[in-house]
Amino acid sequence: MSRIALIRTIMMVAIGVAIALAIGLVVRAITVDPKTGGGRDASVTGTSLVGGPFELTDQDGRRVSDQQFRGKLMLVYFGYTFCPDVCPTTLLDMSQAMDALGPAGDQVQPIFVTVDPERDTPEELKKFLANFHPRTLGLTGSPAEVQAAAKAYRVYYAKAKGAERDYLMDHTSIVYLMDRQGKYLTHFTSSIRGEQMAEAIKKFL
């Protein structure tokens, strides 16, 4: 090999390596979702720790476990039926998201878990949920069952001051989207509207 041919070969290899590195960087930039930050970021912020098993009773008195929803996405919200504002608004947004998804929404199970099992009997849940998307599942249970479910989803709740039967509840107001294995995908705060929620859910279908 002549000297010039050798230099040319070395230059070609160097250019090849540079191109490969550049492609690698671009691919990485595309595959790492900036919103969720990918799996690594999720574990750092602790969001991958959201979710877990639950055993509760639905608005028709049937026992329900999280295992029943494997293969479907779960849209999970914790609240209570006596809530004067945030809970009904959020359930309305969830309902609008389900409507906006259309037939694709069959892959999504909307779930409302009460943080007020004392007042939210299956009958109360059924009355309340008549105002929202018909596939919404309302879940209640013993105080211990509700506490276990809320703990799994890192949901805080406590009785606020008020009359004995007319008290308010303080509670975390976040809608969680869980994947087909029941693992955390993303979440929505109360400020999101139904259409935006539907657009975000679509990316995971």
Q: Which residues bind Ni ion (CB under 5 A)?
A: 79, 83, 86-87
The DSSP call for residue 66 is G
- For the bound state, the minimum distance from the C-beta of residue 87 to Ni ion, rounded and expressed in Å, comes to 3
For Ni ion, the closer CB: 119 or 202: 119
Torsion of CA 92, 98, 101, 106, to 10 degrees: 180
- For the bound state, the minimum distance from the C-beta of residue 90 to Ni ion, rounded and expressed in Å, comes to 8
User: Which residue is at the shortest CB distance from Ni ion?
Assistant: 83
For Ni ion, the closer CB: 174 or 200: 174
For Ni ion, the closer CB: 91 or 197: 91
For Ni ion, the closer CB: 79 or 138: 79
Name the residue among 75, 52, 54 with its Cα closest to residue 63: 54
**What is the C-alpha to C-alpha distance for residues 135 and 108, in angstroms, rounded to an integer?**
9
- For the bound state, the minimum distance from the C-beta of residue 171 to Ni ion, rounded and expressed in Å, comes to 6
Three-state SS for 124? helix
User: CB neighbours of 147 closer than 8 A, spacing ≥ 6?
Assistant: none
